[in-house]
Amino acid sequence: MEWTGARYADQPTVQVRTWIDAGPERVWRIVSDVTLMPEMSRELRSVEWLDAAAGPTTGARFVGRSEHEAFGEWATTSTVVECEPGRVFAWAVEDPACPSALWRFRLEAEDGGTALSQWMRLGPGRSGLSFAIDRMPEKEEKIVFVRMREFERNMTATLEHVKRLAEAR
């Protein structure tokens, strides 16, 4: 990721991609099962569906509990905002109308397998990062850049994990 000088209000994004030697249906079952995400993440510790939801559907909600050495422990509630089996799975963190982050997996059949991308956008709603910026506003661009680099590394590791799971089955 290249230095952009982005501020939080710019709603910076990051995206990573990989190709998986498995069909979109198989990959979809992995990326849409939010209960698998903690084993793929350095920060996410647990996820559970809320409101008696048993799986991914638009409007379904889940709570994720995370931990980071610089931010401590926290929990967020997310709402599934896009759910097209075999194609796209996306969720908004906290308020769906003004999320602190928006996350999306996109799947496309390609060369007998699946092109999988993971994308995220920070903001526009406040997040834990907002508190760090509040304490050090003169360092906002660096804080945002460092966090986006972390997201990029973690998302790359997530896609590698999804690839291993999908290709092993």
Dist. CA 66–CA 25, nearest whole Å: 28
Structural domain includes residue 40: yes
pLDDT of 20: 98
Report the CATH number at residue 20: 3.30.530.20
Structural domain includes residue 87: yes
Q: How many helices and strands in the chain, by DSSP H and E? A: 3, 7
The list of the chain residues with pLDDT below 70 reads 1-4, 169
pTM of the model: 0.93
How many folded domains does the chain comprise?
1
Structural domain includes residue 22: yes
Structural domain includes residue 164: yes
Structural domain includes residue 2: no
What is the span of the domain harbouring residue 157? Answer: 8-168
45 CB contacts (<8 Å, ≥6 apart)? 38, 65, 66, 67, 73
pLDDT of 65: 92
State both tokens at 67: 């931990």
112 CB contacts (<8 Å, ≥6 apart)? 21
